[in-house]
Amino acid sequence: NAGVTQTPKFQVLKTGQSMTLQCAQDMNHNSMYWYRQDPGMGLRLIYYSASEGTTDKGEVPNGYNVSRLNKREFSLRLESAAPSQTSVYFCATRTGGSGANVLTFGAGSRLTVL
């Protein structure tokens, strides 16, 4: 039972290159999220998917695209990476809906854009 798995763990890109961060969960959760974490800024929401087939923008969506491939998988794509996208990216999931359902985070993906 792996929980939430993110790949890759580390990546170095050059400005203008593209890449996709993958997130997969085996918790049967409906909702999935992508956050980025920068020093002093906390966790900022990039995109989320409340349920399979839906995606919505968060606080900082510019420069990113997402795909909710199926219930298990939610990917984040950088089409043309910029140095400002250097960050640690976390995928998180939860049951969704009402009630006391909490976020489970993946281990994170550290991205450096040169």
Partner 1 sequence: QQPVQSPQAVILREGEDAVINCSSSKALYSVHWYRQKHGEAPVFLMILLKGGEQKGHEKISASFNEKKQQSSLYLTASQLSYSGTYFCGTEAQAGTALIFGKGTTLSVSS
Q: Which residues bind partner 1 (CB under 8 A)?
A: 31, 33, 35, 40-45, 48, 50, 56, 58-59, 90, 96-100, 102-108
Nearest-angstrom CA–CA distance, 82 and 11: 13
The residue (of 69 and 103) whose beta carbon lies closer to partner 1 is: 103
Task: Please state the closest distance from residue 95 (CB atom) to partner 1, in A.
Answer: 10
| Rounded alpha-carbon distances, angstroms, from residue 114 to 18, 65, 82 | 13, 20, 8
Q: Which helix (H) or strand (E) holds 16?
A: none
Nearest-angstrom CA–CA distance, 23 and 10: 14
Task: Please state the closest distance from residue 99 (CB atom) to partner 1, in A.
Answer: 8
Task: Please state the closest distance from residue 100 (CB atom) to partner 1, in A.
Answer: 5
Q: Which helix (H) or strand (E) holds 104?
A: strand 104-105
The residue (of 17 and 105) whose beta carbon lies closer to partner 1 is: 105
The residue (of 15 and 107) whose beta carbon lies closer to partner 1 is: 107
